[in-house]
Amino acid sequence: MVQRLVVRAAPASVLAVGTDCAMFDAYLADHPQCRFECIRDSDIIARIDECAMVDLALVSGVLERLDKQVAGMLVARLRDLHARHVLIAVPIGPHWSGHRSHWEPTDLIALGMVRIGRFGSAERPLHLYTYDLHDYKPTPDWLNARHWANPELFDKFWW
């Protein structure tokens, strides 16, 4: 499913964090102009701060291995500073042994993520979340020039 999402997004630049970088081999073979970077070491936050803005960031096998606060900071930095589109694969629930932090759907929704898939068993699900800068928050109808300046109403305000 992740490979299909990558092909559909057709990014010109990709940042893979903690994931198996080989999963991008087919896409990179078809798109040799794509800028690709893979971060798999322990100092992820510092390495991400060195990265330029990318079209797609994929995070897998990382959030559950980090302290929850640090993992939340990682997601926020990717979302706000480093990627136009973020895909996160994360195990959900407390039934995963050996993990440093356990995630619930509301944790990721609070970070602006939207769940687009679920894999695995009912006791040990792996969820796929996404964040896209362009459709995160639709522009409300009232937020346009038509509603900002109403000279005919200037004398009706009480101040």
Identify whether 53 is part of a domain: yes
CA dihedral (80, 130, 61, 7) in degrees, to 10, reads: -110
Identify whether 52 is part of a domain: yes
Q: Would you say residue 69 has pLDDT above 70?
A: yes
> Any idea what DSSP says for residue 71?
H
Identify whether 142 is part of a domain: no
Which of 21-25, 69-73, 129-133 has the highest mean predicted lDDT (pLDDT)?
69-73
Identify whether 155 is part of a domain: no
Q: Please give the residue range of the domain that contains residue 82.
A: 2-133
Return the SS3 of 91. strand
Q: What is the pLDDT of residue 98?
A: 86
Count of domains observed in the chain? 1
